[in-house]
């Protein structure tokens, strides 16, 4: 069991959070929008907190919010807000200031995804994926974004 | 060689457009923002038009714009704007009104991606991909969005 801190409770963050909690991990979610909490309850039998999840309201780029959300003992850090700049900034904070062992980041810009992927972060780039899928569907070999 | 109509010259649409053109396909791009044309020229030796590409400025949900962009003889239609509603609307127009043989659509909402995928469209859902990639990285089996 790992302690996973997820920043960003959007479509991606909230689904990953629920699935990880259901799989027995300890999961803490940080988001600046109180209403984003609703996504964590969606389709569940109990509330997010009732199921053992944690939720912190706060700005991801503020150190205090990250600490409150538990970054100091996180095994895994997931940056899944809607902004590349925010995701890359907080991922670097998690990696360099808090020494979180695993840092996963969603990056929409393929160019930045490639560069940061070479810096020890695990980068997930949905844009490159979409390009590859379209091109694969159309028979383009060796397609990548 | 196919004639491919791509609606939306954002990150995904423009890369797919350039790669398809380079692979010898005939490619027409439709976007409401004239500035989006710049993405088609990026990193190329010649301009988009110089390389044989077509670009039409117009609203994707207007029939005249689609006709001007060549939808009536398109072999493949790609809906890659930033909006799910727009993408699904124009994909249905391409499929039902213009009988385009292949219709590929980018859909960010996993729930809608699943439903429309059962309607004969080829759906590409970067959100589900991101969820799956995060969960696979964390060892969650059978992960899907």
A53-72 confidence digits (pLDDT tens): 999 999 999 999 999 999 99
Domain span including residue A73: 3-106
pTM over 0.95: no
Kindly report, residue by residue over B114-129, the tens digit of the pLDDT: 999 888 889 999 999 9
**Is the dihedral angle over the CA atoms A139, A144, B5, B7 positive or is it negative?**
positive
Position of tokens 């030796």? B45
Question: Does residue B130 fall inside a structural domain?
Answer: no
Q: Does B132 touch chain A (CB under 8 A)?
A: no
Determine contact: A22 vs chain B, CB below 8 A.
no
The total number of structural domains in chain A stands at: 1
- The answer to the question of residue A61 being in a domain is yes
Tally of CB atoms within 10 A around A121: 22
Which of A114, A86, A125, A88 lies closest to A103, judged by CA? A88
User: What was the ipTM of the complex prediction?
Assistant: 0.89
Establish if B43 belongs to a structural domain: yes
Domain assignment of residue B122, yes or no: no
Determine contact, residues B117/B123, Cβ cutoff 8 Å: yes
The DSSP H or E segment spanning B136 is helix B126-137
B62 touches chain A (CB under 8 A): no
Asked, for residue A131, whether it belongs to a domain, the answer is no
B132 domain residue, yes or no:
no
Q: Tell the burial category of B132 from Cβ atoms under 10 Å away from its Cβ (0-12, 13-18, 19+).
A: buried
Q: Where are the alpha helices (DSSP H) in A1-44?
A: 11-22, 38-41
Q: What's residue A145's pLDDT?
A: 41
Q: How far apart are CA A13 and CA B99, in angstroms?
A: 38
Task: Report the CATH number that the domain containing residue A29 is assigned in CATH.
Answer: 3.40.50.720
Q: Which of A79-88, A110-119, B26-35, B57-66 has the lowest mean pLDDT?
A: A110-119
Question: Is the residue at B39 inside a domain?
Answer: yes
Query: Environment class of residue B42 by beta-carbon count within 10 Å: exposed (0-12), middle (13-18) or buried (19+)?
Result: exposed
* Size of the A and B interface in Cβ pairs below 8 Å: 93
Answer yes or no: is B49 within a domain: yes
Query: Which of B109, B122, B134 is the closest to A16 by Cβ?
Result: B134
């Amino acid at each position: 069991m790992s302690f996973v801190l997820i920043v960003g409770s959007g479509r991606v963050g909230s689904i990953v959070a629920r699935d990880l909690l259901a799989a027995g991990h300890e999961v803490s979610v940080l988001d600046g929008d109180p209403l984003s909490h609703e996504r964590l309850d969606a389709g569940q039998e109990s509330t997010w907190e009732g199921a053992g999840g944690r939720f912190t309201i706060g700005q991801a780029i503020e150190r205090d919010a990250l600490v409150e959300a538990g970054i100091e003992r996180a095994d895994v850090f997931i940056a899944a807000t809607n902004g590349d700049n925010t995701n890359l900034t907080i991922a670097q904070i998690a990696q360099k200031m808090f020494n979180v062992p695993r840092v996963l980041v969603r990056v929409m810009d393929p160019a930045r995804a490639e560069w940061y992927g070479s810096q020890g972060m695990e980068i997930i780039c949905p844009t490159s994926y979409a390009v590859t899928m379209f091109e694969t569907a159309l028979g383009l070999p060796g397609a990548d974004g």
